[in-house]
Chains A and B, each alone.
Chain A
Amino acid sequence: MRSLWQRADRSGRASLRLPAILLSVYYAYMLEYRAELLLWALSGSLPIILMGVWTQAAQNGQFGLSAIAFARYFLAVFLIRQLTVVWVIWEFEKEVVQGKLSPRLLQPLDPVWHHVASHLAERLARVPFTLALMGLFFLLYPQAIWFPGWTNLLWFCLVIVLAFTLRFLIQYTFALLSFWIERATAIEQFWFLLYLFLSGMVAPLEIFPPTVRAIVLWTPFPYLINFPAAILVGMPVDLKQGLLAIAAWGALFLVLNRWLWRRGLKHYSGMGA
């Protein structure tokens, strides 16, 4: 009787219990790094530097965007970078090379959920620092304060979750190559270069030449930064096209990811597991 009750209890609550515990433990884990969190948040200030460059340039030249528009755009980029930072490839590579994946594989839970939980928990721990930095920015530059409107804000919330998911999925897919090559992070470093220029991190897609922009829109990069940023600052975006592109790239990487995972596990033994 007791076991029956337990089983019913388990199936009812287990679906929420495990994610809740994973998140709470990893949240505690991230809070162990209080000082580091501030430094990590600050280390994402490249958009703020670029903002300085572009607002200066906007005052002197013709870019179709005002200095204020640039400031808001790069502040949005800063926020998006803070909310979509992914480092799973470094963690995963370490686990594979050092054999730390083994104990995780012996538990009836796909090891990826540990990484997902630690990323989400880190996000929760980082948000106060990010908001504080943004508050400080608005204090220094009150002209840049804006309200995107409720509709855009809601779309932004949805798109930022999708952008994080896609970025995580892509990097985790590269991470799985650790099963075959010793330093999968080299791929990520090369990929990051493309990401840097094509995502809209160094310049809004708005000011790209039209042909270049048309080509870039076929890649996954602009949907990781430019797309949510444009929604947040109220630049014109094609919502349907953006969501479709995220879904398509997401599906592609998901299939590739699961395929590599199955192949990789078989290969894992070669490294002495």
Chain B
Amino acid sequence: MAIVEVEHLSKVYAVAMKEPGLAGTLRHFWQRQFRDVVAVQDVSFQIEAGEVVGFLGPNGAGKTTTLKMLTGLIHPSAGSVHVAGYVPFRRSPAFLAKITLVMGQKQQLLWDLPALDSLRINAAVYGLSDAVFHDRLTELGEMLNLGEKLTQPVRKLSLGERMKMELLAALIHRPQVLFLDEPTLGLDVNAQVSVRQFLQQYNQHYGATVLLTSHYMADITALCERVLLIHQGHLIYDGSLDGLLDRFAPYRAVQLDLAQGPRETVSLRQQLAAYGEVESLEGNRVRLLVQREALTATVSRILTELDVADLTVTDPPIEDVIGRVFQTGVVDGGSPS
């Protein structure tokens, strides 16, 4: 049996509407008008134990709403959810002991105290004995490289350290299913990498299931083999990450800084078009879209044929990929709907 089972899940919110201006404000005061907003519509998927799944979609696509239904924070409007055999919104203690939710923008640690104090509360809440608590603290503390930071007030920690501390707090009861909402939000590259490595390690070590949302493509590529794509409340892709990129983003963005001064633009543009689609050309800076299969050959040609000061190759922005998937309107990869 899959550890996460979602069938025909929907969520509709009533949102208060206010027109602009004083008249609108007064009308809003006397008579609130509500409009139904469909946040999630008829979403179905299953996740097997031990899988790491990326949950992608633009802002407002319904990712967080889905995570909240999976953790039992909100009631679904329709459809059914089972996590580890439980119905989440009943929030039974046995269910809560098996899951965790980490939200990049929200924190649970007490701000003015060392994290250790908050962790002691968590350990007691989940009924861990002192011995178990200390074992896990040592283990997770080493994996996250936190050590002496445990006794520093949380407000004195850097954003990266705080996020790692939040992860420690969220995992002290060793949950089987991890729901992570933007766990690397706002972190610098090094901190992102270490959070990523930790999650990978945790998944391998404990066989935990992970469902992760992120706007950083690197998080997804490093951790997830499978991705779910959600757009305007609909699940529009469920399948492997490779399949998603091959199909919907078969190109890479190559950015060049040319060493020589600007030349006549039209001829330069023509010259550059031989390597790929010219996305932008400003002064010495060029952005090219190059087919993935031709990338290596094209880059070496560019380096030999042009006088290049700097060259970077990047993934297309995730929003672009999602946009393409949405435009083609494909639902794929075994989504039962």
Contact = CB atoms under 8 A, between A and B. Distances in A.
B124 A17 contact: yes
A18 B103 contact: no
B28 to A, nearest CB: 13
B127 interface: yes
B270 interface: no
Interface in B70-107: 71-75, 91, 93, 96-97, 99-101, 103, 106-107
Interface in A253-273: 266, 268-270, 272-273
A106 B14 contact: no
> Which secondary structure dominates chain B's binding surface?
mixed
Contact of A103 (B64, B72, B75, B103): B103
A243 interface: no
A6 B129 contact: yes
A273 B103 CA distance: 12
Interface of A is mostly: helix
B121 A273 contact: no
Contact of B73 (A14, A100, A106): A106
B23 interface: no
B108 A105 contact: no
B108 A108 contact: no
B189 interface: no
Contacts of A22: 121, 124
Chain A, interface residues (CB within 8 Å), range = 20 to 34
Given A22-B124, A25-B117, A269-B13, A106 B129 contact: no
Interface of A: 6, 9-10, 14, 17-18, 21-22, 25, 28-29, 32-33, 99-100, 102-109, 266, 268-270, 272-273
19 contacts: A10-B129, A18-B125, A21-B124, A25-B113, A28-B113, A29-B113, A32-B112, A100-B106, A102-B73, A103-B101, A106-B71, A106-B99, A106-B100, A108-B96, A108-B97, A268-B73, A268-B74, A269-B75, A272-B64
